[in-house]
């Protein structure tokens, strides 16, 4: 089968477009990078793509909230096209700032398949600050998330100041857990248990939730950055692993993008 | 219609921002504040129908799940004091700008330029013990900065009984402007008065040259026929002052110096040409990878057949002293524009930062006008973090250095590495040429009074109608858009030349570009302004940020303009480049500048200065040392210049772009600063670069020659210890000096200039010895302040940064001990040269009877060092070393501690086995900061191969690594002199800044 076409959305402060495009392409995908203005103004059509990637960064400087203004732009100019895209057999990934955009748009969590209804927010970290650190994560084996198939325990870097999955409405959380939409969770590296404890859970997210999917498993949003761990030499421990003959074959982020590409093959 | 909106978190949702402010107030100011509620304030001065206002506000400003809003005062319950902070007129308000764009998009209406959204914030304090006075000082000294912000304090009752303040911080400019014509046929005193009054910063001799130019017959003739008239205009004087400024012309580095040392006299015609450029030229005769040095905004070197590298490090000291956040933010986004404006424009890859501050724990009364070092430190970090993170550029190196003499003038170093394809459409990217007829195009932000005479801050009180002039505040997102646009336009080949608009504004950028074609015809009439009321000279020299100037062939104009619109970047044609030989500027159909290009760029008379080297008289401290020096090591680990600064560093993104291989912090707990950082430049490649730096201003107290030698050696040996080579390594020199010009204010100018001469001599000697040519540099020469009548000068500071190619990043080495049972070696010799070492400085600070921190500064033997470095290159090339660390401040003792903390394994060391020269006491051996040394761990099985590779270089086996997480050092006679578990070492090392980073709650 032909390589799936991936649209990597950037511009206006998004900034992880190159490594994200490379992550798809190294797995046989065919990525285009476009400034979001080209998409909003109709020069580039979503209909030509199978995968849509909202990348990390600081869209509009995160002024007024992470992903907030980018979401305003998409909602006001591209809602119909996005609804059509979601209705097709397509995939969407939102990473960090891109995840915030998906949440602000209500494309996630889409409880009961209700897209464009805002149910959750990514609130400021309990630590009160932006942080860059590597975390250990566990994939929910009961989740149908396409992106996290064939994966179990991984490590990835987080780099955010607003990543705490939050709603005052506890029922929303219960539904999310019940549906196994919680695809990825922070764990304590000592015992492998899901954790709400700093720094293993860098933001205080409820039940250590780091990434969620929609009920269909085709839309995935996560705070950690899989596209920042593609080369095994991105691993912060590789100089030590080298002397235990256990430098990994590839970075833990690769499989997420491979799963996406393989979905279409 | 105008609306004021207040937004705050609902009571059932944590107000993390308010909590964070509250914690900081308690921590840093020791004030009793029970709680802080944060409220965001927006004033909408845009046409918004009242039926749509709720929808628009909800969509743009409010998180419906967690926040409430009100068009009146938002009730958040009882509090004691309300502090409201907003921007002063004309100050960049990025949040307001973004909100305006969002509302415009929702309404599908293009707003007029003056229709704006303004942002502000409120802090509602529950603090019954605080008085109005203490709240006001909290507000002015901590929460806001009166230089750029308006601050209002109200008690609860006042707040409750008053209407919310909807005053707009609008600049009330009028369309009037002035052009002054100035008669220069005046005496010396009047010339100097003119220079002073207009903040031209020109010397008498320079003013005289200008006077002489305007009096030349042929110039008078030329000016008459051009219609400008014989008198100089204010535009011309300001252009000359900018072009001839210390900042642009490096007058001290290019002056003639009569230098005297040991009775020998020497006449140096330009430090820059004699020592820096000539060293690079000499090295350049033998290497083929120097592509563009000292002529563009940043140096360019070859990386491989596809990619060239670009590197520049800048300082932004004065602005950071006055408005640390804005100054540092401008510093980092400003230096990004150097690679962007180098050649045809570089892709930005990595930032570096480094700061010199007074102690954050400074507990004496601060002299008025100076900000406390802790406040400077907090906000400088915040500025560089925001600038780097929001631009999506990871940092590769970061460091801090503390000395009380930086209290009046902090140093803020910011640098950027970029890359560019070797060629685009067949044209080499590191070259650029303007053809006459190419259009002058300015892109990016609009022009305001920002940063006019950036160097000479006016003390004039700012009032409502006066826009801020002193400090520019960067807007990373405006620049990110400009950058995305620039790279796309570069790849399409739409322009022939690009440079950044930094110091001196259009005057400098277009003035310099015009040298390529031989002249320009620039019309300021259409220059995009933030507000009305700028005189033509202000438009020309404004340092408003986020702007680049391009030369665009006329046939590409339409395509470039379409592209710019797509990227949301404003572009304007400001005339065209010519070959007339004239810098010709017009405004509203009137010629306002008509200067001979040659005079503008080469008319500056060369300064002549004297320098005399008299070595200071110093003695070594005398003190008794306990047998067990574990506590000494722990105290050293806690010293400001050695302790952990991980907390702040972690708030900078160092992973974005996914190119990071050896990170700025390493080890099992990822908290130990690496000797050097290794990165790749292309995804999927194992070809990379190493970045490292050296700095040690305290050695300048003894001799700047050895300071500079040590600094260069440090940067170079960090590359070596990380597995790099010197085959393709380039340097960057950043000199920050106190004023070295002898005058009434600077009676020791001859000595300070001699210090500069000696540092430059070392720069020549050691860059040529190591084959590490400088490719770019920067100097900042007036880092002094008057403190209660007493002048405080910074210690002469040289930052030497190195970028080295690494052919195979999988061979990179880190300092963390990898396995127990490895052999520990020392390579290199340890001397009794603890002068100005951290150890002697600590001893001096602890004992008031000791007045001198030593006389023997560490020296470098370049031949021995280079031979050793070549041996280590072979060892790392054949992967014989499990770990390597090169000790710096605190010497071997601190080095061992870092290695055990990084690896989690212990070490047993016999101090008597360490190779020394005339140095026998264990404390001196362990804490001497001698250069050119390495601590290396090697597998027992590689012992022979390692020792063979070391050849006849000085080295010695001094111990082994252990499973037990403990550092044990004995004196050779069976006495343990240092014994600590790793946790104990780490505790001491992290204790100093422990209150500055507790991410736990």
pTM here is 0.96
Domain that holds residue B213: 181-232
State mean pLDDT over A69-75: 97
Q: Kindly report the CATH number assigned to the domain that includes residue B72.
A: 3.30.1280.10
d(CA B19, CA B135): 17
Does residue A165 contact residue A238 with C-beta atoms inside 8 Å?
no
DSSP percent split of chain A into helix, strand, coil, nearest 5: 35, 25, 40
Across the interface, of B102, B661, B818, the residue whose CB is closest to A233 is B661
d(CA B993, CA B125): 27
Residue with tokens 């820096």: B276
Residue B626 binned pLDDT confidence (cut-offs 50, 70, 90)? confident
pLDDT exceeds cutoff 80 at B912: yes
Question: Per-residue pLDDT tens for B23-79?
Answer: 989 887 878 899 999 999 999 999 999 999 999 999 999 999 999 999 999 999 999
- Give residue B58's pLDDT: 94
Query: Strand pairing of A51-54 and A91-95?
Result: parallel
Does residue B407 lie in a domain region?
no
Q: What are the two backbone dihedrals, phi and then psi, of residue A81, each rounded to the nearest 5 degrees?
A: -60, -40
Higher-confidence position of A202 and B473: A202
The kind and range of the H/E element at B159 are helix B156-161
> Do residue B96 and residue B198 come from a single domain?
no
d(CA A193, CA A195): 6
Across the interface, of A72, A130, A133, the residue whose CB is closest to B106 is A72
- Helix, coil or strand: residue A234: helix
Does residue B377 lie in a domain region?
no
- Give residue B468's pLDDT: 47
Binary contact (A58, B13; C-beta < 8 A): no
pLDDT exceeds cutoff 80 at B464: no
Q: Kindly report the CATH number assigned to the domain that includes residue B574.
A: 3.90.650.10
The kind and range of the H/E element at B710 are helix B704-721
Positive or negative: CA dihedral B228, B233, B235, B239: positive
- Give residue B38's pLDDT: 97
Contact map slice: B 902-921 vs A, CB within 8 A = 903
pLDDT exceeds cutoff 90 at B448: no
Does residue B760 lie in a domain region?
no
Question: Per-residue pLDDT tens for B406-437?
Answer: 998 999 999 999 999 999 999 999 999 999 99
- Helix, coil or strand: residue A19: helix
Please write down the HEC assignment for all residues of B642-676: CCCCHHHHCCCCCCCCCCEEECCEECCCCCEECCC
**Angle ∠(B891,B894,B896) on CA atoms, nearest 5:** 105
When divided into structural domains, chain B yields a total of 3
- Give residue B997's pLDDT: 56
pLDDT exceeds cutoff 50 at B8: yes
> Do residue B8 and residue B155 come from a single domain?
yes
Contact map slice: B 291-310 vs A, CB within 8 A = none
Tell me the angle at which helices B476-492 and B94-107 cross, rounded to the nearest 10 degrees.
70
Residue of chain A whose alpha carbon sits nearest to that of B653? A132
d(CA B938, CA B819): 9
Binary contact (A131, B19; C-beta < 8 A): no
Does residue B939 lie in a domain region?
no
> Do residue B101 and residue B194 come from a single domain?
no
Give the count of beta carbons closer than 10 Å to the beta carbon of residue B912.
14
Count each helix (H run) and each strand (E run) in chain B, helices first. 30, 45
- CB contact set of B687 (below 8 Å; sequence gap of 6+): B303, B304, B680, B681, B805, B806, B807, B808, B809
Burial of residue B128, with CB atoms counted within 10 A of its CB: 0-12 exposed, 13-18 middle, 19 or more buried: exposed
- Give residue B362's pLDDT: 93
Chain B residues with CB inside 8 Å of A68's CB? 60, 63
> Do residue B192 and residue B116 come from a single domain?
no
Does residue A63 contact residue B7 with C-beta atoms inside 8 Å?
no
- Give residue B470's pLDDT: 55
d(CA B110, CA B909): 72
> Do residue B110 and residue B207 come from a single domain?
no
Chain A residues with CB inside 8 Å of B17's CB? 124, 128
Chain CA centroid to CA B527, Å: 29
Domains and CATH numbers, chain A: 5-262 (3.40.50.880)
> Do residue B9 and residue B135 come from a single domain?
yes
- Give residue A128's pLDDT: 86
Residue A1 binned pLDDT confidence (cut-offs 50, 70, 90)? low
d(CA B333, CA B483): 11
- CB contact set of B197 (below 8 Å; sequence gap of 6+): none
Contact map slice: B 941-980 vs A, CB within 8 A = none
Q: Which of B361-365, B606-610, B628-632 has the lowest mean pLDDT?
A: B361-365
Residue B469 binned pLDDT confidence (cut-offs 50, 70, 90)? low
Before A199, cis peptide (omega within 30)? Answer: yes
State mean pLDDT over B505-509: 91
Write down the H helix ranges in B277-372: 278-284, 317-322, 324-340
pLDDT exceeds cutoff 90 at B922: yes
Binary contact (A12, B102; C-beta < 8 A): no
Which of these three, B533, B554, B578, is where a domain ends? Answer: B578
> Do residue B157 and residue B185 come from a single domain?
no
> Do residue B52 and residue B124 come from a single domain?
yes
Rounded to two decimals, the ipTM of the complex is 0.97
Contact map slice: B 771-830 vs A, CB within 8 A = 809-810, 812-814, 816, 818-819
pLDDT exceeds cutoff 60 at B1000: no
Joined tokens for residue B390 = 């929001």
pLDDT exceeds cutoff 70 at B461: no
Mutation target to probe the A interface, by most A beta carbons within 10 A, among B26, B98, B99 is: B98
Closest CA to B481 of A253, A49, A12: A12
Burial of residue B940, with CB atoms counted within 10 A of its CB: 0-12 exposed, 13-18 middle, 19 or more buried: exposed
Positive or negative: CA dihedral A15, A16, A19, A24: negative
Burial of residue B278, with CB atoms counted within 10 A of its CB: 0-12 exposed, 13-18 middle, 19 or more buried: middle
- Helix, coil or strand: residue B45: strand
d(CA B642, CA B401): 9
Does residue B65 lie in a domain region?
yes
> Do residue B480 and residue B558 come from a single domain?
yes
Catalytic residues of A: 96, 225, 227
Residue B1 binned pLDDT confidence (cut-offs 50, 70, 90)? confident
Q: Is B562 an 8 Å CB contact of chain A?
A: no
Across the interface, of A65, A199, A228, the residue whose CB is closest to B63 is A65
d(CA B799, CA A105): 47
Binary contact (B65, A37; C-beta < 8 A): no
Please give, rounded to a whole number of angstroms, the shortest distance from the CA of A160 to a CA of chain B.
9
d(CA B652, CA B385): 5
On average, the pLDDT of chain A sits at 96
**Angle ∠(B90,B96,B98) on CA atoms, nearest 5:** 125
Does residue B708 lie in a domain region?
no
- Give residue B471's pLDDT: 64
pLDDT exceeds cutoff 90 at A95: yes
Mutation target to probe the B interface, by most B beta carbons within 10 A, among A117, A156, A240, A242 is: A240
Give the count of beta carbons closer than 10 Å to the beta carbon of residue B944.
8
Which of these three, B578, B605, B635, is where a domain ends? Answer: B578
**HSE, side-chain direction, 13 A CA sphere, residue B767:** 29
pLDDT exceeds cutoff 70 at B105: yes
Residue B782 binned pLDDT confidence (cut-offs 50, 70, 90)? confident
Chain A residues with CB inside 8 Å of B655's CB? 132, 157, 159, 225, 228, 234
Question: Per-residue pLDDT tens for B933-962?
Answer: 999 999 999 999 999 999 999 999 999 999
Joined tokens for residue A238 = 């590789």
pLDDT exceeds cutoff 60 at B467: no
Give the count of beta carbons closer than 10 Å to the beta carbon of residue B722.
27
d(CA B950, CA B953): 6
pLDDT exceeds cutoff 80 at B995: no
> Do residue B13 and residue B151 come from a single domain?
yes
Does residue A106 contact residue A115 with C-beta atoms inside 8 Å?
yes
The kind and range of the H/E element at B866 are helix B862-877
pLDDT exceeds cutoff 70 at B463: no
Question: Per-residue pLDDT tens for B669-721?
Answer: 999 999 999 999 999 999 999 999 999 999 999 999 999 999 999 999 999 99
> Do residue B22 and residue B93 come from a single domain?
yes
Higher-confidence position of B717 and B451: B717
- Give residue B16's pLDDT: 92
d(CA B987, CA B637): 9
Residue with tokens 């001497």: B928
Please give, rounded to a whole number of angstroms, the shortest distance from the CA of B657 to a CA of chain A.
6
Count each helix (H run) and each strand (E run) in chain A, helices first. 7, 11
Closest CA to B907 of B968, B973, B831, B988: B968
Does residue B550 lie in a domain region?
yes
Query: Strand pairing of A5-10 and A51-54?
Result: parallel
Residue B462 binned pLDDT confidence (cut-offs 50, 70, 90)? very low
The percent of residues above 70 in pLDDT, for chain B, comes to 98
Q: Which of A186-190, A230-234, B4-8, B140-144 has the lowest mean pLDDT?
A: B140-144
Convert A31-44 to b/e letters by CB count within 10 Å (16 or more is b): bebebbbbbbeeeb
Residue B451 binned pLDDT confidence (cut-offs 50, 70, 90)? confident
> Do residue B209 and residue B148 come from a single domain?
no
**HSE, side-chain direction, 13 A CA sphere, residue B208:** 8
Which of these three, B528, B551, B578, is where a domain ends? Answer: B578
- Give residue B977's pLDDT: 97
Binary contact (A130, B657; C-beta < 8 A): no
Q: Which of A144-158, B358-372, B874-888 has the lowest mean pLDDT?
A: B358-372
- CB contact set of B545 (below 8 Å; sequence gap of 6+): B92, B330, B333, B334, B445, B450, B451, B472, B473, B474, B475, B478, B479
Question: Per-residue pLDDT tens for B178-205?
Answer: 899 999 999 999 999 999 888 888 999 9
State mean pLDDT over A49-73: 96
Does residue B224 lie in a domain region?
yes
Convert B831-867 to b/e letters by CB count within 10 Å (16 or more is b): bbbbbbbbbbbbbbeeeeebebbbbbbbbbbbeebbe
Residue with tokens 């129908």: B49
Joined tokens for residue A227 = 């596209």
Q: Is B389 an 8 Å CB contact of chain A?
A: yes
On average, the pLDDT of chain B sits at 93
Residue B514 binned pLDDT confidence (cut-offs 50, 70, 90)? very high
d(CA B413, CA B428): 30
d(CA A215, CA A224): 21
Higher-confidence position of B146 and B132: B132
- CB contact set of B767 (below 8 Å; sequence gap of 6+): B279, B280, B283, B712, B731, B773, B774
Residue with tokens 């990084």: B902
Joined tokens for residue B256 = 């003639």
- Give residue B454's pLDDT: 56
For chain A, report the end-to-end CA distance as a whole number of angstroms: 6
Chain A residues with CB inside 8 Å of B10's CB? 168
Chain A residues with CB inside 8 Å of B60's CB? 64, 68-69, 72
């Amino acid at each position: 089968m032909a390589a799936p076409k991936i649209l990597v959305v950037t511009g206006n402060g998004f900034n992880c477009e190159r490594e994200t495009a490379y992550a798809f392409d190294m797995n046989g995908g065919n990525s285009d990078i476009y400034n979001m203005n080209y998409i909003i103004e109709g020069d580039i059509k979503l209909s030509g793509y199978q995968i849509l990637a909202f990348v990390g960064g600081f869209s509009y400087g995160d002024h007024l909230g992470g992903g907030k203004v980018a979401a305003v732009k998409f909602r006001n100019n591209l809602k119909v096209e996005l609804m059509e895209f979601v209705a097709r057999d397509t995939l969407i990934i939102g990473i960090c700032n891109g995840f915030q955009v998906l949440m602000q748009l209500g494309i996630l969590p889409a409880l009961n398949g209700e897209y464009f209804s805002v149910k959750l927010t990514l609130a400021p970290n309990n630590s009160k600050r932006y942080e860059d650190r590597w975390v250990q994560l566990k994939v929910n084996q009961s989740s149908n998330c396409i992106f996290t198939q064939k994966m179990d325990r991984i490590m990835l870097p987080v780099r955010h100041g607003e990543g705490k999955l939050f709603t005052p409405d506890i029922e929303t959380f219960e539904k999310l857990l019940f549906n196994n939409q919680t695809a990825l969770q922070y764990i304590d590296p000592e015992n492998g248990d899901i954790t709400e404890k700093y720094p293993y859970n860098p933001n205080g997210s409820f039940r250590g939730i780091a990434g969620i999917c929609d009920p269909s498993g085709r839309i995935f949003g996560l705070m950690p950055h899989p596209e920042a761990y593609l080369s095994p030499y991105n691993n912060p421990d590789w100089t030590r692993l080298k002397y235990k003959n256990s430098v990994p074959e590839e970075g833990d982020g690769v499989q997420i993008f491979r799963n996406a590409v393989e979905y279409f093959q | 219609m105008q609306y004021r909106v207040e937004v705050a978190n609902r009571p059932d949702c944590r107000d993390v921002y308010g909590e964070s402010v509250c914690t900081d107030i308690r921590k840093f100011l020791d004030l009793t504040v029970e709680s802080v509620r944060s409220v965001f304030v927006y004033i909408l001065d845009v046409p918004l129908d009242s039926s749509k206002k709720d929808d628009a506000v909800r969509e743009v400003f409010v998180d419906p799940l967690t926040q409430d809003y009100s068009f009146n005062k938002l009730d958040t319950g009882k509090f004691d004091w309300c502090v409201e902070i907003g921007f002063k007129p004309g100050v960049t308000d990025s949040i307001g700008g973004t909100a305006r764009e969002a509302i415009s998009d929702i309404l599908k209406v293009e707003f007029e330029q003056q229709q704006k959204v303004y942002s502000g914030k409120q802090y509602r304090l529950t603090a019954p013990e605080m008085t109005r006075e203490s709240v006001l000082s909290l507000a002015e000294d901590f929460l806001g900065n009166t230089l750029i912000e308006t601050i209002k304090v109200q008690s609860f009752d006042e707040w409750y009984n008053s209407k919310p303040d909807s005053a707009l911080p609008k600049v009330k400019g009028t369309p009037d402007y002035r052009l002054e014509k100035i008669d220069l046929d005046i005496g010396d005193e009047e010339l100097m008065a003119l220079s002073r009054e207009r903040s031209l910063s020109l010397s008498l001799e320079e003013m005289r040259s200008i006077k002489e130019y305007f009096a030349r017959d042929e110039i008078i003739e030329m000016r008459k026929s051009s219609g400008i008239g014989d008198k100089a205009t204010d535009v011309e004087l300001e252009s000359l002052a900018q072009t001839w400024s210390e900042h642009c012309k490096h007058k001290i580095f290019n002056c003639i110096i009569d230098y005297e040392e040991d009775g020998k006299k020497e006449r140096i015609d330009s430090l820059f040409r004699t020592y820096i450029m000539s060293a690079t030229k000499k090295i350049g005769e033998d290497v083929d990878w120097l592509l563009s040095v000292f002529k563009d905004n940043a140096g360019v070197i070859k990386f491989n057949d596809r990619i060239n590298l670009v590197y520049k490090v800048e300082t932004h000291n004065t602005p950071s002293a006055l408005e640390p956040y804005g100054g540092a933010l401008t510093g980092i986004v400003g230096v990004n524009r150097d690679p962007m404006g180098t050649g045809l424009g570089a892709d930005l890859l990595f930032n570096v930062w480094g700061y010199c501050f007074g102690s954050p724990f400074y507990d004496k009364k601060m002299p008025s006008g100076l900000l406390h070092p802790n406040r400077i430190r907090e906000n400088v970090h915040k500025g560089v973090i925001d600038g780097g993170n929001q631009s999506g550029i990871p940092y590769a190196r970061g460091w801090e250095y503390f000395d009380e003499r930086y209290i009046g003038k902090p140093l803020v170093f910011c640098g950027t590495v970029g890359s560019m394809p070797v060629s685009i459409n067949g044209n080499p990217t590191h070259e650029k040429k303007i053809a006459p007829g190419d259009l002058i195009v300015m892109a990016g932000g609009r022009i305001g009074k920002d940063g006019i005479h950036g160097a000479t801050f006016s003390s004039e009180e700012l009032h409502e109608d006066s826009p801020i002039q002193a400090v520019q505040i960067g807007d990373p997102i405006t620049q990110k858009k400009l950058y995305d646009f620039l790279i796309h336009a570069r790849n399409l080949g739409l322009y022939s030349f690009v440079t950044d608009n930094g110091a001196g504004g259009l005057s400098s950028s277009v003035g310099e570009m015009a040298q390529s074609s031989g002249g320009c015809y620039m019309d300021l009439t259409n220059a995009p302004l933030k507000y009305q009321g700028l005189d033509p000279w202000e438009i020309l020299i404004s340092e408003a940020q986020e702007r680049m100037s391009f030369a665009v062939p006329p046939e590409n104009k339409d395509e470039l303009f379409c592209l710019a619109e797509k990227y949301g970047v404003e572009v304007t044609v400001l005339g065209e480049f010519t070959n007339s030989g004239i810098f010709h500027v017009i405004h509203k159909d009137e010629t306002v500048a008509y200067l001979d290009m040659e005079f503008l760029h080469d008319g500056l008379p060369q300064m002549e200065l004297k320098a005399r080297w008299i070595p200071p008289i110093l003695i070594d401290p005398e003190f008794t040392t306990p047998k067990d020096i574990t506590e000494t090591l722990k105290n050293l680990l806690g010293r400001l210049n050695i302790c952990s600064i991980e907390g702040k560093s972690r708030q900078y993104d160092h992973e974005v772009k996914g190119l990071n291989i050896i990170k700025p912090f390493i080890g099992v707990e990822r908290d130990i600063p690496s000797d050097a950082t290794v990165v790749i430049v292309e995804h999927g490649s194992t070809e990379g670069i190493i970045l490292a730096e050296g700095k040690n201003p305290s050695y300048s107290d003894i001799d700047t020659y050895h300071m500079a030698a040590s600094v260069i050696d440090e940067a170079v040996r960090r590359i070596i210890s990380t597995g790099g080579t010197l085959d393709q390594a380039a340097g960057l020199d950043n000199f920050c000096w106190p004023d070295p010009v002898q005058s009434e204010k600077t009676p020791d100018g001859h000595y300070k200039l001699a210090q500069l001469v000696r540092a430059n001599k070392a720069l020549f000697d050691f860059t040529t010895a190591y084959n590490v040519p400088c490719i770019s540099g920067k100097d900042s020469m007036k880092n002094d302040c008057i403190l209660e009548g007493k002048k405080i000068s910074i210690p002469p500071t040289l930052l030497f940064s190195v970028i080295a190619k690494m052919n195979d990043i999988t061979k990179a080495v880190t300092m963390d001990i990898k396995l127990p049972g490895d052999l520990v070696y020392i390579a290199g010799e340890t001397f009794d040269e603890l002068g100005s070492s951290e150890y002697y400085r600590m001893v001096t600070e602890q004992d008031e009877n000791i007045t001198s921190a030593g006389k023997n500064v560490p020296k470098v033997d370049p031949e021995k060092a280079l031979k050793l470095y070549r041996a280590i290159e072979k060892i790392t090339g054949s992967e014989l070393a499990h770990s390597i660390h090169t000790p710096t401040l605190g010497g071997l003792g601190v080095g061992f501690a870092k290695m055990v903390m990084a690896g989690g394994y212990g070490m047993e060391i016999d101090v008597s086995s360490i190779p020394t020269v005339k140095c026998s006491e264990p404390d001196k051996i362990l804490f001497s900061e001698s250069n050119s040394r390495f601590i290396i761990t090697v597998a027992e099985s590689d012992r022979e191969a390692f020792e063979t590779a070391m050849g006849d270089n000085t080295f010695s086996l001094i111990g082994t690594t252990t499973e037990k997480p403990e550092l044990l050092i004995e004196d050779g006679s069976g006495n343990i002199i240092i014994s600590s578990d790793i946790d104990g070492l780490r505790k001491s090392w992290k204790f100093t800044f422990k209150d500055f980073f507790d991410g736990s709650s």
